[in-house]
A and B are shown apart, each in its own frame.
Chain A
């Protein structure tokens, strides 16, 4: 780590409304990961403001950030990040555990979201007993479990073949139709085309793209 500050993002001014389905499209090194980290409250901007659901995120400490992440953000990662030693249901349960949701409600919600992603028959399977597409659906169930404000997906189809990728995209549409706000980060314009609004990012600067067909 040098002492010099490297400005990865410059003059970002981005507003995302509730219920939107937004894609942030950019090649690697464009700063899209940094932008995702800030949106996901994993990082705070060195300068500037970030308001999420009426809360000022810049200036929060680690404990406050963890609370915000738990209640407002549902992460979906390229390589799923499921805990291999726990069942699908236990993985989905994690954000509810950290949000201190009572036992019975937690179990009911896990069943509900597993049903939502069409995996209610795979509750007690371990990740290595599931296909890539199924694992990503478990991860999506985990992301929506605690009713977050934003579903934040980082290359959600990056590790999947085209057909399963399409299935995941269909699931995203359904989730968006139900009112979930989705922000998807990708380098793939075909994937980005699934979103209803596209923001392009290059060298840390964003530009509003064309509206995709709904």
Chain B
């Protein structure tokens, strides 16, 4: 209770002193402002950039390995038998083959010849349940390649189907009549080719239907789903050995036959790059903070020598040395915290502008804010200590006599 009162009084004394030396306090604070703003700004920009890249990765599939298997001349793509072998690998939850091509769609009098056609299977939608905004996805009976059902995106609806309510609409795709059973959610995070103006939209149909349209007999892309408790790197190794068996290739030429994309390991690489960049840039920016701290120390020393007589008087009136020290320490902490606060705000503004220029999503990093506040308080303590100690050690007689 007593010490709370003392601290409260010291803070109000500190504020009135800062107020009565506005210009000097502001210039001193500027060092801390610049230091904290650059630390916060740089770290926030790095985290925003890496964060939005990570979000894209995540939307492409966390918990997913993607196998790209062109195969060899003798063994092209992945047969149903190969897919079954992969599905049997330890740690695999499910697999989802996919294929893609492009084609021409006709509806009423509209002919669109730049339609992206993606082939998926039912499993894909089970693992990406936000893909459909209305309607439904394929059921097992529709996966045989004999049923012509389609899921379309909003671009396709507006470009080809004339913007009408699309569910149940029938249109012609590469010569076959398809019925719309679902509408795809707009993809905001992944900028795909569908957003370019010369594309008429995307149609998703069962993958066997795609294989029927294109010349390929087998799928060459397979998404492998696994649960959280499976180590993706180990799973990748197991899959590689199975694929090497399927294609009868060795380590030397496996790259030509297949490749596995592991989002999780890409993401962990990305996050370690982020940590390294943050640390490095933050470290460079803290040099500005150090300079700011020296500025605070300088101002506090000037303040102590200017107020020597006041210190002497306070001592004559019964102020303990520790109380004088506390008063000056709190003054320097107040000063640097004020600078720190302005710096945090400024840093976030800089980061928001930077994120905007770099075309990424601005993310407030609470860690960086905490770091900024902690740094500035620390600077106040470290660089205020010596001047405060000096003030507390003044001899009251000499102090009172000084002019």
In the complex, are the beta carbons of A69 and B397 less than 8 A apart?
no
CA distance A98 to B2 in the complex (A): 11
Is there a chain B Cβ closer than 8 Å to A83's Cβ? yes
Is there a chain B Cβ closer than 8 Å to A31's Cβ? no
CA distance A85 to B317 in the complex (A): 17
In the complex, are the beta carbons of A99 and B318 less than 8 A apart?
yes
Number of cross-chain contacts by CB at 8 Å: 57
For A62, list chain B residues within 8 Å (CB). 320-321
Measured between C-beta atoms, what is the minimum distance from B5 to chain A in Å? Answer: 7
Please give me the 9 A-B residue pairs with the lowest Cβ-Cβ distance, nearest first: A70-B318, A98-B318, A95-B317, A66-B320, A98-B319, A81-B313, A42-B397, A42-B396, A94-B317
In the complex, are the beta carbons of A98 and B316 less than 8 A apart?
no
For A100, list chain B residues within 8 Å (CB). 2, 5-6
**Contact A81 B397, CB 8 Å, known A63-B321, A98-B314:** no
CA distance A66 to B310 in the complex (A): 15
For A42, list chain B residues within 8 Å (CB). 316, 396-397, 400
Is there a chain B Cβ closer than 8 Å to A211's Cβ? no
For A73, list chain B residues within 8 Å (CB). 316
Measured between C-beta atoms, what is the minimum distance from A150 to chain B in Å? Answer: 13
Is there a chain B Cβ closer than 8 Å to A26's Cβ? no
Interface residues of B in 291-333 (CB under 8 A from A): 309-310, 313-323
For B314, list chain A residues within 8 Å (CB). 94, 98
In the complex, are the beta carbons of B16 and A98 less than 8 A apart?
no
Residue of B5, B20, B397 ringed by the most chain A CB atoms within 10 A: B397
In the complex, are the beta carbons of B316 and A75 less than 8 A apart?
yes
Partner of B20, one of A67, A77, A85, A97: A85
Is there a chain A Cβ closer than 8 Å to B9's Cβ? yes
Partner of B310, one of A77, A83, A97: A83
CA distance A69 to B314 in the complex (A): 10
For A70, list chain B residues within 8 Å (CB). 317-319
CA distance A69 to B316 in the complex (A): 6
Interface residues of B in 1-24 (CB under 8 A from A): 2, 5-6, 9, 16-17, 20
A-B contact pairs, 9 of them (CB 8 A): A40-B316, A42-B396, A62-B321, A66-B318, A70-B317, A81-B309, A83-B313, A85-B17, A94-B317
CA distance A42 to B397 in the complex (A): 6
Measured between C-beta atoms, what is the minimum distance from B323 to chain A in Å? Answer: 7
For A43, list chain B residues within 8 Å (CB). 397
CA distance A35 to B320 in the complex (A): 22
For A103, list chain B residues within 8 Å (CB). 5
CA distance A67 to B5 in the complex (A): 18
Interface string of B231-256 (1 = CB under 8 A from A): 00000000000000000000000000
For A98, list chain B residues within 8 Å (CB). 314, 317-320, 323
Interface residues of A in 15-46 (CB under 8 A from B): 37, 40, 42-43
For B310, list chain A residues within 8 Å (CB). 83
For A66, list chain B residues within 8 Å (CB). 315, 318-321
For B20, list chain A residues within 8 Å (CB). 85
CA distance A201 to B317 in the complex (A): 26
Interface string of A40-55 (1 = CB under 8 A from B): 1011000000000000
For A99, list chain B residues within 8 Å (CB). 318
Chain A minimum-CB-distance residue to B399: A42
CA distance A146 to B318 in the complex (A): 10
CA distance A213 to B400 in the complex (A): 34
CA distance A138 to B58 in the complex (A): 72
For B2, list chain A residues within 8 Å (CB). 100
For A69, list chain B residues within 8 Å (CB). 315-318
For B16, list chain A residues within 8 Å (CB). 85
In the complex, are the beta carbons of A75 and B317 less than 8 A apart?
yes
Is there a chain B Cβ closer than 8 Å to A71's Cβ? yes
Chain A minimum-CB-distance residue to B6: A100
Is there a chain B Cβ closer than 8 Å to A200's Cβ? no
Interface string of A91-124 (1 = CB under 8 A from B): 0001101111001000000000000000000000
Is there a chain B Cβ closer than 8 Å to A137's Cβ? no
For A83, list chain B residues within 8 Å (CB). 310, 313
CA distance A85 to B12 in the complex (A): 13
Chain B minimum-CB-distance residue to A37: B397
Measured between C-beta atoms, what is the minimum distance from B7 to chain A in Å? Answer: 13
**Contact A95 B318, CB 8 Å, known A85-B20, A100-B2:** yes
With A42-B397, A98-B320, A100-B2 already in contact, 16 other A-B pairs whose C-beta atoms are closer than 8 Å: A62-B320, A69-B316, A70-B318, A70-B319, A71-B318, A73-B316, A75-B316, A75-B317, A81-B400, A85-B17, A94-B317, A95-B318, A98-B319, A99-B318, A103-B5, A142-B317
In the complex, are the beta carbons of B318 and A63 less than 8 A apart?
no
CA distance A98 to B323 in the complex (A): 9
For A95, list chain B residues within 8 Å (CB). 317-318
For A81, list chain B residues within 8 Å (CB). 309, 313, 400
Measured between C-beta atoms, what is the minimum distance from B328 to chain A in Å? Answer: 15
Residue of A69, A94, A98 ringed by the most chain B CB atoms within 10 A: A98
For B321, list chain A residues within 8 Å (CB). 62-63, 66
Interface string of B367-387 (1 = CB under 8 A from A): 000000000000000000000
CA distance A71 to B316 in the complex (A): 11
For B322, list chain A residues within 8 Å (CB). 63
